[in-house]
Structure 1
Amino acid sequence: MDNRPGGAFGRAGRYLTEEERAARPKVTRQLLMRIAKILKPYWKQMSLVFLTILAATVFRLLPAILTGRIIDEGLIGSNLPLLLRLILLSFGVMLAASLIGVLESYLSTWIAQHVTFDLRNKMFRHLQAMAHQFFTDSRQGDLITRMTSDISGVQQTISGTLTGILSNLLTLATAVAAMYQRNWILATVGITLVPLLALPTKKVGKTRWSLTREAQASQDEINGILNETLSVSGQLLVKLFVREESEASRYEAANRRMIGLNIRERMAGRWFRVALSTFSSIGPMLIYLVGGYLMIRQGADLTVGDITVLVALLGRMYGPVNSLMGIQVDWIRSMALFTRIFDYFDLPVTVVNPVNPVKPERIDGVLEFHQVDFAYEPDRPVLKDISFRLDSGRSVALVGPSGAGKSSLINLIPRLYDVTSGFITLDGIDLRRLDLDILRRNVGIVTQDTYLFQGTIRDNLLYARPQASQEELEDACRKANIHDFIAAQPLGYDTV
């Protein structure tokens, strides 16, 4: 039996609130259709996976069926040549099943890797297109979790959960068919306990769903703490305000919640699995008892090999049932991951390029605000009825206390945000009609905070204009009075 892991997602968190329980997503036809759409480009490879799983399933059952002939015709029949042939055939079949299993594993892993490759790229592009307000309102830990552990969980769902469900269902179906082909009475006795195995499934699934959603929220909290306190700016504030002990306590508390939930999650359904194991052991005993009664008292047309085959097939049948119980709850966890990812994909992009953007060949730089209102939230206006004109070549200073809206006004020019009412024009063209790339390439902003990307000094200086030559780069640095400082570094402009 190919016991595939249903997925292991290390999570931590608290119990879901009543509001979260009420709002938790359900596994709907629409959700399943969206998942199918993700997998559709790889339908050919998935068809091959189905065929390899089917072939491997049949080959894995053949040794159990051959066992009956080995016992009846080889051992009891004292036919050594036939015994050797049957044993070699069983070995060959098992080897073939293993090789087919390797091929199936490669195919499913290939599909999973490519699907997550597509998801990561699509998610990154979607997040890049989101308005600036999305990033100011969202926790960075949530974004990182969505891009990393959630999408990695999808990979495990495809390579483990989906293929595991298919493999176990095929194994279960073929084992049951083979058992009934041998003896319908013993087959019925053997599968009598199957309904009892499914009874706890619904309750366990609900428990694991709740724990997983809580764990995801806690993981986001921990990622947020790490990003806030271990960043350069965060560490500066922690040290300046002597908050090391407080932040350590906050992290320890979140970490403790993670440990508690990890224990709860791993123990969830433990008694359920004990019951499964007990019922699985009773099945073979019943077959031996009923089979012996039919042979001894009823003179049934059964052999020792037949009973041995039925017991072996029963083991092949109950194995998938046990696995399907675990995979079923892991499937629920996987649906939670897909739901969280789709929630992000469904977030609207509020600042978009117009359908037919204006692409002027030249921009003179005449900027004008026309009765502009702006608010981050509808009931909290930041700018109201702002009107002014800035001609090309002129300089204007915006003066006001902190929170007066100076930065907000500037952010409206490259359309990091869109105005609430009124409009802004550049050379007489409404900014919302201009091509967004052209607009932003013609607006230069020096931010208040310095931020460096991972890379060399050259990489950071060329970020806004990658095609600039070395001469242009050095000329700009001389004008900014930083060329001599850079040149004094160990690798100059190539210093990391």
Structure 2
Amino acid sequence: MELRPGITKRSGWSFLSEKEKINRPKITRELLLRIGSYLKPYWKQMLLVVATILMSSVLSIMPAVLTGRIIDEGLIGRDLNLLVRLLLISLAVTLGANLIGVLESYLNTWIGQHITYDMRNSMYRHLQSMPHQFFTTNHPGEIITRMTSDISGVQQLITGTLTGILSNIITLGVSLVAMYQKNWILATISIIIVPFFTLPTKRVGKARWSLTREAQARNDEVNGILNETLSVSGQLLVKLFNREEAEITRYEVANHQMIRLNIRERMAGRWFRVILGTFASIGPMLIYLVGGLLIIRYGSDLSVGDITVLVALLSRMYSPVNSLMGIQVDWIRSMALFTRIFEYFDLPVDIASDQNAVVPHSAQGNINFSHVDFAYEPDRPILRDVSFSLESGKSIAIVGPSGSGKSTISNLIPRLYDVSKGSITFDGIDVRKLDLGWLRQNVAIVTQETYLFNGTIRDNLLYAKPMAMEDELVSACIKANIYDFISKQPIGFDTLVGNRGLKLSGGEKQRISIARALLKDPAVLIFDEATSSLDSISEQLIQKAIDPLISTRTSIIIAHRLSTILAADEILVMKEGRIAERGTHTDLLEAGGGYTELYETQFSGALEPRE
């Protein structure tokens, strides 16, 4: 959650707005059960971890217990042989505890890595199922943060927090048992200070929670800046507008805020550790004082070794208590991370295949829009009562000014978005009832902004059909009017295209995009402003590729340039989300309406219709 502008940064919960205070995550039973569901598949490994922690904790206090005998029987009793044996036993026990600790560390790491592996896979699968609108409305930096650093932070809960709690509780319990076996009076006195350790914890936890949320929001902002300005398109814009220094300043400000918050978050609660350290030093003093009184004044049978053992065990006991206080703060931080992750997991998948989705045996490509309304936002309608039909094998062109709804029509057919009202049918079946994978397999869109992956031409073509044979690649490229170019390259289809295809010209990228679409062998082929950003020569080459295609398969051509749509069987003229005119090129010119105005503006009679 991001802070609202103007919120004053003070201590405690003042970091949060009133809305954030109301909606702040709570550690509930449901949340803990949900977290536990990720641990459940690894319960056997977790039991083994508990066993190693128990063995390690017992063995780790043995040297402290043996110290009493070393002092009393070995040193004071002047028994060299016993002293050597006790020292060797102490060394062996320490080595054993350390080896078990290595096994515990490995198991912790293994479990943590596998849980984050599961979560990343689940998150990636969930994000892949999100509608297109999710990616157009959410910041890419935030999405990447949830996928990477948030889920990576979960591993700390497994490898540090959970096992730390178990380890410290077991060590604390074993130490207490050993202390009471020595002397119940000194054991009781030594632990009376423990309650003071917990006093500042609640306030520190709240402050750190708020700092964690704000620091993560700043991290999202930094990732967003990096994603925008270090991408190919972003860098081009930065350079062309001479905005390097402005972007550096923007990044440095955001980075400074993130670092400052990270420091404050990590320092939250450190002040009360000073108090804890002071309290911890009082315990040994009390043992020496009371133990001395018991021996000197009351003739107790306590030995110097016993008092030394109690002091050593006390340090073993206070260390887990101190760690548990820190773990509580880390626990709160981990809960904040889990809450952020679950927020994404709980996002509804608005566009998906119905359970009883229809999977036709074949596709003809008959498209019908019936009284379709659509709006990205409720108060901003894009399409209003749009109705038209496109028969299999026919072509239709859609023209009109920017913002009239042309591209929206193409996005509705493969259900990148769903209609707000009305219906769209594909071969007589409502697209919402068709299997989504089948529908999108039979619709191909060539967009204005061609996206190529940073690989070879072959890699980008095979993205449409991974098992395509060489002759299929050649055939698609010939139809797309790009094979001559590919064949002239030293390594042909294995030529690298560069990041986003920057090693190729705009026309070459666009024709590869057309070939890639053809490899799908779609029933419906859509060209969405496919030539609007190209020079006249590239446009002519692409037009030579498009013209034969629209004469042989169901096609929709969306364009600003009327030169690209003259061969269509019918032309729709869009205006303010409605179909204002429709007909052939000749009919529309004779009508003398908006289409005639567009035509005369672009060509002034220089272009004649093609036969």
* The two structures share one fold, judged by TM-score above 0.5: yes
Structure 1 stretch displaced more, 353-362 or 46-55: 353-362
Question: Could you give the per-residue CA deviations for residues 144-195 of structure 1, whole angstroms, max 9, x where no partner exists?
Answer: 0011101110112111111111101111111111111211111111111111
Question: Could you give the per-residue CA deviations for residues 49-69 of structure 1, whole angstroms, max 9, x where no partner exists?
Answer: 000000000000111111111
Distance 1:413 1:197 in 2: 63
The answer for the alignment partner of 1:337 in structure 2 is 337
* SS of match in other structure, 1:398: strand
The answer for the alignment partner of 2:267 in structure 1 is 267
> How far off its partner does 1:223 sit?
0.4
The answer for the alignment partner of 1:308 in structure 2 is 308
Distance 1:347 1:332 in 2: 23
* SS of match in other structure, 1:444: strand
Write the letter of the residue equivalent to 1:374: F
> How far off its partner does 1:446 sit?
0.4
The answer for the alignment partner of 1:204 in structure 2 is 204
Distance 1:302 1:454 in 2: 76
Distance 2:73 2:299 in 1: 20
* SS of match in other structure, 1:403: coil
The answer for the alignment partner of 2:500 in structure 1 is none
Are positions 1:154 and 2:131 aligned together?
A: no
> How far off its partner does 1:21 sit?
3.2
Are positions 1:395 and 2:395 aligned together?
A: yes
Structure 1: gaps of 5 or more residues? 1-12
Structure 1 stretch displaced more, 477-486 or 37-46: 477-486
Structure 1 stretch displaced more, 480-489 or 339-348: 480-489
* SS of match in other structure, 2:395: coil
Distance 2:276 2:452 in 1: 56
> How far off its partner does 1:422 sit?
1.3
The answer for the alignment partner of 1:348 in structure 2 is 348
> How far off its partner does 1:279 sit?
1.1
Are positions 1:406 and 2:403 aligned together?
A: no
> How far off its partner does 1:141 sit?
0.4
* SS of match in other structure, 2:347: coil
The answer for the alignment partner of 2:576 in structure 1 is none
Question: Could you give the per-residue CA deviations for residues 83-124 of structure 1, whole angstroms, max 9, x where no partner exists?
Answer: 222111111111111111111111111111111111010100
Distance 1:58 1:437 in 2: 58
Distance 1:427 1:85 in 2: 89
Distance 1:468 1:216 in 2: 44
Distance 1:478 1:240 in 2: 36
Distance 2:95 2:488 in 1: 65
* SS of match in other structure, 1:335: helix
Distance 1:242 1:481 in 2: 38
* CA RMSD, Structure 1 to Structure 2 (Å): 1.5
The answer for the alignment partner of 2:123 in structure 1 is 123
The answer for the alignment partner of 1:222 in structure 2 is 222
> How far off its partner does 1:417 sit?
0.8
Write the letter of the residue equivalent to 2:480: A
> How far off its partner does 1:236 sit?
2.0
The answer for the alignment partner of 1:444 in structure 2 is 444
Write the letter of the residue equivalent to 1:249: T
Q: Normalising by structure 2, report the TM-score.
A: 0.77
The answer for the alignment partner of 1:485 in structure 2 is 485
> How far off its partner does 1:265 sit?
2.2
Distance 1:180 1:490 in 2: 83
Write the letter of the residue equivalent to 1:263: I
The answer for the alignment partner of 2:97 in structure 1 is 97
> How far off its partner does 1:250 sit?
1.1
Question: Where in structure 2 are the equivalents of 1:50-449 lying within 5 Å?
Answer: 50-449=50-449
> How far off its partner does 1:34 sit?
0.2
* SS of match in other structure, 1:419: coil
Distance 1:488 1:93 in 2: 73
Distance 2:141 2:173 in 1: 44
Structure 1 stretch displaced more, 155-164 or 77-86: 77-86
> How far off its partner does 1:489 sit?
4.1
Write the letter of the residue equivalent to 2:344: Y
The answer for the alignment partner of 2:4 in structure 1 is none
> How far off its partner does 1:483 sit?
2.6
> How far off its partner does 1:297 sit?
0.4
Write the letter of the residue equivalent to 2:248: A
Structure 1 stretch displaced more, 163-172 or 472-481: 472-481
Distance 2:117 2:267 in 1: 33
Distance 1:196 1:300 in 2: 30
Write the letter of the residue equivalent to 2:418: D
> How far off its partner does 1:22 sit?
3.0
Question: Could you give the per-residue CA deviations for residues 2-42 of structure 1, whole angstroms, max 9, x where no partner exists?
Answer: xxxxxxxxxxx974433323322011111000000111000
Write the letter of the residue equivalent to 2:45: Q
* SS of match in other structure, 2:375: strand
The answer for the alignment partner of 1:5 in structure 2 is none
* SS of match in other structure, 2:175: helix
> How far off its partner does 1:352 sit?
0.9
Distance 1:219 1:495 in 2: 38
The answer for the alignment partner of 1:9 in structure 2 is none
Q: Normalising by structure 1, report the TM-score.
A: 0.95
* SS of match in other structure, 1:396: strand
Write the letter of the residue equivalent to 1:467: M
Distance 1:122 1:231 in 2: 27
1:200 to 1:488, Cα distance in 2 relative to 1, 3 A: farther
More contact order relative to length (CA 8 Å, sep ≥ 6): 1
1:490 to 1:230, Cα distance in 2 relative to 1, 3 A: farther
Distance 2:20 2:486 in 1: 53
Write the letter of the residue equivalent to 1:375: A
> How far off its partner does 1:490 sit?
5.0
> How far off its partner does 1:241 sit?
2.5
Question: Could you give the per-residue CA deviations for residues 294-353 of structure 1, whole angstroms, max 9, x where no partner exists?
Answer: 110011121111101100000000111111111110111000111111110000000010
> How far off its partner does 1:423 sit?
1.1
Structure 1 stretch displaced more, 468-477 or 153-162: 468-477
Distance 1:342 1:214 in 2: 18
Write the letter of the residue equivalent to 1:443: V
Distance 1:237 1:333 in 2: 38
* SS of match in other structure, 1:78: coil
Distance 1:215 1:488 in 2: 53
* SS of match in other structure, 2:27: coil
> How far off its partner does 1:208 sit?
1.0
Question: Could you give the per-residue CA deviations for residues 219-257 of structure 1, whole angstroms, max 9, x where no partner exists?
Answer: 000100111111111122222333222222211110121
* SS of match in other structure, 1:397: strand
Distance 1:120 1:435 in 2: 26
> How far off its partner does 1:492 sit?
2.8
Write the letter of the residue equivalent to 2:431: L
Distance 2:351 2:146 in 1: 22
Distance 1:25 1:215 in 2: 16
Distance 1:85 1:31 in 2: 52
The answer for the alignment partner of 2:475 in structure 1 is 475
Structure 1 stretch displaced more, 309-318 or 394-403: 394-403
* SS of match in other structure, 1:343: helix
> How far off its partner does 1:482 sit?
2.5
Sequence identity, in percent? 70
Structure 2: gaps of 5 or more residues? 1-7, 10-14, 497-611
> How far off its partner does 1:484 sit?
3.4
> How far off its partner does 1:475 sit?
2.4
The answer for the alignment partner of 2:551 in structure 1 is none
Distance 1:171 1:306 in 2: 19
Write the letter of the residue equivalent to 1:436: L
Write the letter of the residue equivalent to 2:57: T
Question: Could you give the per-residue CA deviations for residues 247-303 of structure 1, whole angstroms, max 9, x where no partner exists?
Answer: 222111101212222332233222211111111111111110110011100111211
> How far off its partner does 1:78 sit?
1.9
Larger of the two Rg values belongs to structure: 2
